[in-house]
Every structure is written in C-alpha cells, then in structure tokens.
Structure 1
Amino acid sequence: MMRNKFDIPEYKKRELSDLAEFIADEYFYDSFVCPYKLAQIYGITISFEDYKSAFDGLLEHCSGKFHIYLNSNQVKHKYEPRVRFTLAHELGHYIIDDHRIPLKMGLAPSHPSFTNFSSDNE
C-alpha cells in the first residue's frame, strides 16, 4: 500500500489524541476548549490582521518567543469557527514537540498554513 505524505501512523494518531485529551483535561476540565485562552496559558501572542491570501495561520519563533499570525482576510471577526480552527491548528504546531522544538532551535522555518476549513455553522 502506498502512503501519501499526510498519512499518519496509528501509533502517532493515538499519541496525538492522548496529548489533546491531556491538554483539554488539564486546562479546560469544566468548560469548552478555548484556543485563545490556551495561547495565553502558553505565553503565545497573537496578531489578527489582513495578510491577503498569504496564509490562514502561521506560527513563528523569534527572540525566544512564539507568535501566531491569523489572517482576517476572509472573516468578519476573530471568534468565527474558521479562525478558531486555524488558531487551534497553529497551537497544534506549538504543542507537538516534533514541530515546536525544530522551530525554536532554528532547524525548521516558519511555514504558512492553509486550513481549508469549512463548516455548516459559518
């Protein structure tokens, strides 16, 4: 069977699922998960600006700190489902060691994310 570059092994899916569950239980045991609050807990700053079609979200490490850029180009406000999804996606890059550590050490560049989010609730 040929795997595409986005196939995730089952053990890794379980590991990521366990990590997400731990974070939800640790910080949001009595409420819904709020990605803005999670960013604050981790000390990650956020910009919400119009970056045209450059990206939906971007996690950057600079001068010892992490920052997330969220694109306001296709949305009206930062609490729309699309933006929450994008923020959660970028937080995932931070939370997953295999993403955060190389970025922090300068071994991997920041890269734009395009989430292709769609929702019946938008």
Structure 2
Amino acid sequence: MNWKLEQAKLRKAAELGEAVAKAVGFDLAPVDPFAVVHSEGRRLQALGDNFRDAFDGRLEYHGAYFLLLYNTKYDGWDHEGSHHPKVTFTVAHELGHYFLEDHRHYLMGGGGPHWSQTDFESSNLAEREADFFATGLLMPQYLLRKRVNTQPPTLSDVRRARSDFRVSLTSMMIRWVQLCDFPCAVTSVVGDKIEWGFTSPGFKRIGAYVVRRGERVSSRQACSFLAADRSAAVYREGDGWSVAERWLELERHNLEVHENYVVVPSTRQMLVFLTADEDEAAADSNWE
C-alpha cells in the first residue's frame, strides 16, 4: 500500500479512538476502556481469562452481539489500578476492531476473528489500525496535546504522563511523538536492528519522515549499551548522543540527537527516545 495512504488510515483510526473517548464523556485521564465496553450494552460483551501465549486479545461476532476476549496473564506483572497497562491496551485495541467500520463488516460478513498481538508488536495493517485506535482512545489529544507541547520533551515527562494515563511506556512514547511539535522520535530495536519507529511533526518539518527501519544500529553509544546485555531479558536504562541520520532518513547531516535507551523485557526490545534541539533543527536554511 502507498505510504501516504497507509499513514492516512492510521491517522483516521486514532481520530476515531479520540471521538469515542469524547463521546463516552472522558474529560480527565485515565480513560477506562472497560467503561467504553459497558457503554455499548448488550451489543458488546467482554471476557477476560489467562489465555497464556495464545493471543493478547480477540474479537468474535456471534450474531446478536460481539464478544471481546482479553488475556489477563499480564495482570500478574506489577501495575497500578485494576489491570496492567498491557491488558487495558489490549481491550482498547479490540475496541478498534469493533468500532472501525471495515473491521466490523469483515467479522459480520463471516470473516474469522483477529488473534491479536497488541501494543505495536504486529506489522499487519489491520492490527496497526487497531493499535492506533487504542492510542487515540487511551491518550486523546484533547487531554494530552497541551501537556506534550509545553516544553521540549524529556523521558521524565513521558514517564509522568504514562503514569497519569495508566498506559505502557511504549504506547505513551509513540503517542507523545505523534503529537509533539518539538523534534523527537521513538524507535524500537530488536537484536541489533531497527524494527519500527515514528517521528514527530517537529522532525517532519525538516524532512525526517521515517526511521531507518530494517537497518542495523549504527550509533556507537547505542551499540555499546546493547553489547552490555544482548538478551533484552532485564530492564535497563541508559543514554547517549549521536546524529539524527544514524536513526532517521534525513538528507541533512550532523544534527545532534540525545538518545534515551529503555530495555523492555516483556517484548525483548530496546526503545530509543530521540530528541534534538529545536533551534539547531531549524538552523539549516535548506529547511526553512
């Protein structure tokens, strides 16, 4: 699919999630996806159980109603509130399959249920749309955007927002970047390769639209951090410096970026939160 069309579909999915949050009446964080389920009455039922490694979530159509299944195995991990953020994101993701028209019609037309792996672990477009719906629902811009754009971002800012919205650090990093007017980005590293990533509107303004997906990590300090423990089985943090073109497809050179590294053992990935100085990013006259 054309990249621009794909991005438009993902953006519309997030906007629909925001619209649902507003329609249900959330005017403060956190947004509770179970309240959205309940607002649908008999048309939508939810059932949680420990489905082990079978799936994170699944939506089934049973004629008179939809059944939303969610895996509670993640509730065994440390968390605040009734459920672990992975569980609430899963429910929000399955609500995406329920509210997104194409997904809903697919199930009602006899299509098999989605066996979802949530929280940006899938490259399938339908699953990514549901992930983006979930970010819009759980972190609607009308609750988050002003906070994101008050000052240049730091990882501490993202952490505080993640705690207030009761979502995973992964999903908050992604949503923060989506809404941020300052130059920042997030990438996922699996093994020694860049798996996926997103750039902010602030980075897009200077031509940095995409990350170097599929390429090996070339930042020296990031490589050193990875080499200290390649298992990704233990939570670790670190930081370093490099230049933006190590991570992003960018024609200009030598734009310095600060790298924050966070190893996420549950998904065996390293998240890299990148930030650049706004004035330095805007300094090149080629992009003014």
- TM bin, normalised by shorter chain, reads 0.7 to 0.9
Task: From the two aligned structures, give the one with the greater strand fraction.
Answer: 2
Task: Specify which of 7, 10, 16 is matched with residue 7 of structure 2.
Answer: 10
Instruction: For residue 52 of structure 1, give the secondary structure of its aligned residue in structure 2.
Output: coil
AA in 2 matched with 1:9: E
Aligned to 1:37: 35
Higher RCO, 1 or 2 (CA under 8 Å, sep at least 6)? 1
User: Structure 1: how far apart are the matches of 2:11 and 2:72?
Assistant: 33
Aligned to 2:72: 72
For 1:26, give the aligned amino acid. Answer: A
In structure 2, relative to structure 1, the CA distance for the partners of 1:8 and 1:87 (3 Å cut) is farther
Q: CA deviation at 1:8?
A: 5.9
Q: Which residue of 2 aligns with 1:119?
A: 168
CA offset at residue 34 of structure 1?
1.2
Alignment gaps of 5+ in structure 2: 121-166, 171-288
TM-score (norm 1): 0.79
Structure 1, 70-79 or 34-43: larger mean CA deviation = 70-79
User: Which entry has the higher C-alpha Rg, 1 or 2?
Assistant: 2
3-state SS of the aligned residue for 1:9?
Answer: helix
Query: In the alignment, what sits opposite 1:46?
Result: 46
How many Å separate the matches in 2 of 1:53 and 1:120?
22
Q: How far did residue 84 of structure 1 move?
A: 0.3
Q: Is the 8 A contact 2:90 2:119 kept in 1?
A: no
Q: Percent identity?
A: 33
- Is the 2:75–2:83 contact (alpha carbons within 8 Å) kept by the matching residues of 1? no
1:24 aligns with 2:73: no
CA apart distance, 1:52 = 1.9
**Deviation (angstroms), 1:64:** 1.8
Aligned to 1:55: 55
Q: Which amino acid aligns with 2:69?
A: Y
Q: 1:73–1:10: structure 2 CA closer, same or farther, 3 Å change rule?
A: closer
Question: TM-score scaled by structure 2?
Answer: 0.36
The answer to which structure has the higher helix fraction is 2
Q: Which residue of 1 aligns with 2:103?
A: 99
Q: 1:119 to 1:14 in 2, by over 3 A?
A: closer
Structure 1: gaps of 5 or more residues: none
The answer to which of 66-75 and 82-91 deviates more is 66-75
Counterpart secondary structure, 1:75? helix
Deviation at 1:3, TM superposition (A): 6.5
Shift of 1:119: 3.3
Q: Does 1:110 align with 2:118?
A: no
Distance in 2 separating the partners of 1:42 and 1:24: 13
Q: Please report how far the alpha carbon of residue 53 of structure 1 lies from its aligned counterpart in structure 2 after TM superposition.
A: 1.1
RMSD: 2.9
Checking the alignment, whether the CA contact within 8 Å between 1:58 and 1:90 is kept in structure 2 is: yes
Match of 2:90 among 59, 63, 86: 86
Distance 2:101 2:67 in 1: 16
